[in-house]
Structure 1
Amino acid sequence: MTEASPYRRVGEAIRGGIVCVADHSSNHVPRDIELGIDPALLEKHIALDIGVEGVAERMARRHDIPAHIACISRLVCDLHREEDSPGVVPQKSDGHLIPGNIGANIERRLERFHRPYHVALGEWLDEAQPELIVALHSFTPQMESGGEERPWEVALLYNHDDRAARHAIRLFAEEGLIVGDNQPYSGKQLNATMDRHAEALGRPYLTIEVRQDMIEREADQARWAALVADVARRTVLALKGT
């Protein structure tokens, strides 16, 4: 990875295998971008999906599921938004103002981060032709700006194509977990990366959201990497049987 790169890869994709995509895995802010926020906010969920990078790394290195991992904070440019979304360069997040993004050159951010990330991801997936894409995210147990506690330990999000999600919801539930079905928010409203790179091309996918307190520690990240890898593989088998 270079300072200018919005992504990195871990592992080698095997044609027809399973791959992982992590859009919100980093809290990195390039040196020439000033967000104007308390640096402590970069360790919170508004800057990254806590724990996801560790899970994705372990899935790639220990479970042979290669990963396309973001290297830029979503406060700089949210790679999991459409280019014309108001949140692609957020001015506020969970009640926190992002002063440096007010009046920012959005086109420049898109050209520098969003487009290279998605062009590279698209080319990688075209070459790999994966049998399943795992889009990995995490969610905070409760929003700082208010709202109820979120009881789900893991959730599956989807837009129109729920064929893989249905199997994974069942498989996670069989592990004794509290599983959300399009919770804590719906993939029918926010599914940008998988809408573009999976649903539009008929590729099966799982958008998996793990509650952040479940994967904050390295030991938990290792456990969840094994669990997600296992569920993904069993989902593939279930899809082949339908």
Structure 2
Amino acid sequence: MTEEAYRILGTPVTGGILVVSDHASNRVPEDIDLGIDRALLDQHVAIDIGVAQVAERLAETPGIGAFLGNVSRLVCDFNREEEASAVIPHASDGHDIPGNLFDIAGREERLARFHRPYHSALAELIRQAPPSLIVSLHSFTPQLTTRPEERRPWQVGVLYNEHDWASRLTIPLLEAEGLVVGDQQPYSGKLLNATMNIHAEANGVPYVGIEVRQDQIADTVGQIAWAERLGRIATLVRQELAR
């Protein structure tokens, strides 16, 4: 199923695994002009590079469905609370977004068109087919333009807020793969966790926030490898949670 704000892949099932990727698209609707160089749409400021392809492969597995954002985070950032200023960003990693400098009416129109339908549809999907585990899938850039001194050596980070049950199971499983794993790195889920706060923590649904460094999933080889790894690990975590 494809709508303007989101896509649903695979067949989400009760008791299964649901992959949620807020920033899986760099699509900008034709009637929206962000006022930026279109080359930026292929960079991390506009999209979580590689996550759509990983999620698509995961959703080919029975028992795993995927819910993906279908517009660029520069159009609307689904992983922000509605009242947050960054939900419709004016700038990102040093790049101004002049097309987002509009009045309150313009902001309300953007939220009503994208943010609310996205979260309403995700809430309804979870209600109709409650998952036993949500995997919140993102990717991060190895280096921010605005923070060149900041090192990001982690190949993958695990994020969470108050409910860390699934994360505590996931971290050692990722480390057993020989990976450099960040616990609340490269940033904390206690600060950036809006979608999971709304749809997982508020409903008591176990979840794990996965941030893969984008160079790990920038090509087909990496995407296949990470889809297999995450599918296998998520299944183990789900089974352990069910005990």
Same fold (TM over 0.5): yes
1:17 paired with 2:16, answer: yes
Residue of structure 1 in register with 2:152 after alignment: 150
Q: How big is the shift at 1:63?
A: 5.7
Contact 2:155 2:216 in 1 (8 A): yes
Residue of structure 2 in register with 1:185 after alignment: 187
Amino acid at match of 2:142: P
Structure 1 residues 27-176: aligned runs within 5 Å: 27-62=26-61, 64-103=63-102, 105-146=106-147, 147-176=149-178
Number of residue equivalences: 240
Residue of structure 2 in register with 1:235 after alignment: 237
Gaps of 5+ in 2: none
Q: How big is the shift at 1:13?
A: 1.2
Q: How big is the shift at 1:64?
A: 4.2
- How many Å separate the matches in 2 of 1:219 and 1:138? 16
Q: CA offsets, 1:151-178, max 9 Å, x none?
A: 0001110000001000100100011000
CA RMSD of aligned residues (A): 1.2
Amino acid at match of 2:231: A
Contact 1:63 1:226 in 2 (8 A): no
- How many Å separate the matches in 1 of 2:238 and 2:73? 30
1:5 paired with 2:4, answer: yes
Contact 2:13 2:63 in 1 (8 A): no
Q: How big is the shift at 1:84?
A: 0.4
- How many Å separate the matches in 2 of 1:123 and 1:14? 13
Structure 1 residues 218-229: aligned runs within 5 Å: 218-229=220-231
Q: How big is the shift at 1:61?
A: 1.4
- How many Å separate the matches in 2 of 1:99 and 1:215? 30
Contact 2:44 2:141 in 1 (8 A): yes
Sequence identity percentage: 54
Q: How big is the shift at 1:148?
A: 1.3
- How many Å separate the matches in 1 of 2:201 and 2:70? 24
Contact 1:198 1:204 in 2 (8 A): yes
